[in-house]
Each structure stands twice: as structure tokens, then as C-alpha cells.
Amino acid sequence: MFNCSILGNIKNKSVIKVAVLCAGLLIGVTGCGKKSDNESLKQGMELIEKYDYNGAMECFEQAILNNEDSQLIYRGEGLAFMGLGDYVQAEEAFLHSISCAEGGLSDLVYDTNYYLAATYMKQNKYNEAENLYTAIIDLKAKETQAYYLRACSRLKQGNYEAAVNDFGKAFALAPNDLNLVISAYKEMQAAGYDEEGKTFVRDFMDKKGKSIKDQERGILYFYLEDYENARMCLEPFMNGNNAEVSLILGQTYEKMGDMNYASIVYQTYIEQNEPNAEIYNSLGSCLLKQGKYAEALDVFNKGIELGESDCYRDLQFNLIVATEYNGDFGKAKVMMEEYMNTYPEDTAAKREYQFLQTR
């Protein structure tokens, strides 16, 4: 079962959403090919924002026939391929987009290079990603994101000292960025340096001192695994409208073994705020852990009914797991086959499908 990340590295769909917003401002820029209205290109970017990647690809193909802006078309194709999990094709598309650039190193070229590096990371081409981030830093010495991402690429290669040094440079450039610190901690934890990563969290808390807000302090305590203090800091905000705080508070109770109250936290948010896919996903996962499979099915379905979101894939997978746990193995098998057709690279789904074939 999957849980959506709260403060970890930006997911593909979130990254793509930012890219779409940027492209909306750049849609009139001309590259190798140019046409004033770029109508098919605009439609393609709108479909990416709706997570309709195959539909977007059709629009980009038409845009090429219309002689619209090639630099933006191939950039759009790269984003669509990323959304589909085809990072090899995404890499080729981003390279093509960069080759169409005119007028030197524009902001759009820098932006596309970041996405190109992301495809390298997804393909485990960590050295290529590192070299690209280094090239960006050489030209823009105060790029917080480039230092952070280069640290990630170096950590993946086992270059611990260089990675920590880059994290430090990123922190120095953005000393008040809580998300940056938590993301760096998660990267360190994933690489097997949990205690070393926690020093980032402690240092941030110490430097902020009394100026730190209770919500931030509670989140930091959560990642330090000090769940009692996390609960004390976050509990007063249980009836608020901050989904992130509710997610962390709910997860705090889960870590403390109180699945029932964790469910109440998630349900309270849902009752008092607009529907939120991440909250539904966390609530459904919590219900699964309690053996409340039918209730979990209902919750996951409600999350899916909200439409495409950063959690949509996780909700789909968890719905299949809930269907299986509820005893409907035949239906779960069919659902898993459909899921794997959409996400063939999902190794967890492959393992689950192999299990379902034995039932």
C-alpha cells in the first residue's frame, strides 16, 4: 500500500504542474518552428495539466504539422513522456527542445535542463545528472535547487561528503526553507544515513529558535521521531484547514499505534474542508491497517472520484489492495492488469499481480 509523500522530493506530477504554469507564460516564445497562435501546443499543455498525457501527445504531433514552436513542443512532449513514465523518450524530447533554442541560455533552456536532469535521475544516470547540475551552478552560482539536486545525485553515487557539502550550500542559500531541510533529510534517510540526516533537522530547529512556529516545530519533531512532542505541537491545529498539518498529525498517531485516532484526524479534516485526495488516501490506508476493508474501499473510491491528482496513482493501487483484502480476488486481478497497462514500470504492482495470479 502506498502513502503520498508530504514534504519529500517533488513528484513527477507536481513538477509537471509547475512546468505547465511556466509554459503558459512562454507559449508565445519562438524556437525552430513558429506560428503565432500555437493553438495545438496550448491544447497539449492544457491536457498535461489534466494529466491526459496521451491526449497531449496527439496535440503536440498536430503542433509539429502546424509548424508551431518546436522548442516548446518538444519540451511539452518531454513532460508528457515523464507523466507516462517513459524517461528514455522524455530525455530525447528535452534534448531536442534544447537543440531548438535560439538566442543562447534563456530561462526556458535552464528550466528544460532541470527536467532533462530529472530524466537522468529516473534512469539511474546519476553521473550525467550531476554533470548537468554542475553546469547550471557554474553559470548560476546561487541556484539553491541545483545544489540540492546535485547533492541528491552525489548521494546516489555514494559520494557522501560532497553530497553533505552541497546540502549545506543549499541550506545557506535558503535558510528558512523547511521543505528543503525535510527533503534533504528524506534523501539521507533513503541512502542509509538517517541519523546524519536528522542533524539537518536539529540544526534548522536550533537556528530558528523561538521564532519557529508551532506547526513547523511539530513537523520537525515528527521527522525526529519525537512523536509525543509532535502531537503536542500539532494537536491544537486539528480543526484547522491545513492539509499538511493534518496529514502529519494523523501520521504521528499512526506511529504511536493509535490508528483509531489517526482516522479521526483525517475524517475531521474531510468533514470541515474541501475534499483532499491525500487525506482520503491516508484515511483509506489507515482503515486498511485496522482491517476495515469495506470502509477503505469507499474512501479510496471517493479520492479517485476527485479526479487526477498527485495521489491518483497511489489511490488506484490502494483501491486494488483494498479490493483484494475484501476478498474479491477476481476483480482485484482485473483491476491490477488495467493498472499495469498504465504503469508498466511499477515493480510493487508486478509483485502484487504475481500474488493475485496464485489466488
Task: Write the pLDDT tens digit of every residue in 247-292.
Answer: 999 999 999 999 999 999 999 999 999 999 999 999 999 999 999 9
Final residue of a structural domain among 212, 242, 265: 212
pLDDT for 9 equals 34
Tell me which amino acid residue 261 is.
Y
C-alpha cell at 129: 545528472
Task: Give the CB-side neighbour count of residue 56, counting CA atoms within 13 A.
Answer: 26
Measuring CA to CA, how many Å separate 16 from each of 33, 115, 341? 23, 9, 22
- Where is the domain boundary, 159, 182, 212? 212
Asked whether residue 322 is assigned to any structural domain, the reply reads no
State which residues form the domain around 184. Answer: 142-212
**Main-chain phi, psi angles of 157, to 5 degrees:** -95, 5
Helix (H, G, I), strand (E, B) or coil at 99: helix
The DSSP symbol for 236 reads G
Residue at which a domain ends, from 123, 155, 174: 123
Question: Residue 309 falls within a domain, yes or no?
Answer: no
Within-domain flag for 190: yes
Residue 107 shares a structural domain with residue 174: no
Residues 6+ apart with CB under 8 A from 265: 238, 246, 249, 250, 253
Position 345 scores a pLDDT of 72
- Predicted model pTM: 0.82
Pairwise CA distance, residues 164 & 145, whole Å: 14
Q: What is the pLDDT of residue 7?
A: 25
How far apart are the C-alpha atoms of 15 and 230, rounded to whole Å? Answer: 29
CATH, residue 38: 1.25.40
Q: Is residue 66 part of a domain?
A: yes
Q: Are residues 101 and 35 in the same domain?
A: yes
Residue 24 has a pLDDT of 45
Task: Give the pLDDT confidence score for residue 34 in this predicted structure.
Answer: 52
Please count the residues of the chain.
359
Position 73 in a domain:
yes
Distance from C-alpha of 352 to C-alpha of 333, rounded to nearest angstrom: 9
Burial class (CB in 10 A: 0-12, 13-18, 19+), 340: middle
Q: Are residues 119 and 157 in the same domain?
A: no
Give the total number of structural domains in the chain.
2
Query: Is the distance from CB of 117 to CB of 88 less than 8 angstroms?
Result: no
| Selection from 38, 123, 36 nearest residue 75 by Cα | 38
Q: Is the domain of 54 the same as that of 114?
A: yes
Inside any domain, residue 206: yes
Q: Report in angstroms the alpha-carbon separations of 313 from 31, 260, 284, 307, 330.
A: 34, 25, 14, 11, 21
The three cell numbers locating residue 207: 537556528
Cα–Cα distance for residue pair 308/49, rounded to 1 Å = 9
Give the model's pLDDT for residue 32. 54
Give the residue among 210, 190, 186 at the shortest CA–CA distance from 198.
186
DSSP state string for 179-210: HHHHHHHHHHHHTT-HHHHHHHHHHHHHHHGG
User: pLDDT (tens digit, 9 = 90+) per residue, 119-161?
Assistant: 999 999 999 999 999 999 999 999 999 999 999 999 999 999 9
Residues 183 and 119 in one domain: no
d(CA 288, CA 292): 6
Same domain, 105 and 157: no
Q: Does residue 58 sit in the same domain as residue 103?
A: yes
Do 86 and 185 lie in a common domain? Answer: no
Q: Give the other-Cβ count within 10 Å of 89's Cβ.
A: 17
Both 8 and 90 in one domain: the answer is yes
- Same domain membership, residue 105 and residue 14: yes
Share of the chain above pLDDT 90, in %: 75
82 and 160 assigned to the same domain: no
Same-domain pairing of 42 and 117: yes
Which residues in the chain show pLDDT less than 70? Answer: 1-36, 103-104, 353, 357-359
| Any domain includes 27 | yes
- The answer to whether residue 333 sits within a structural domain is no
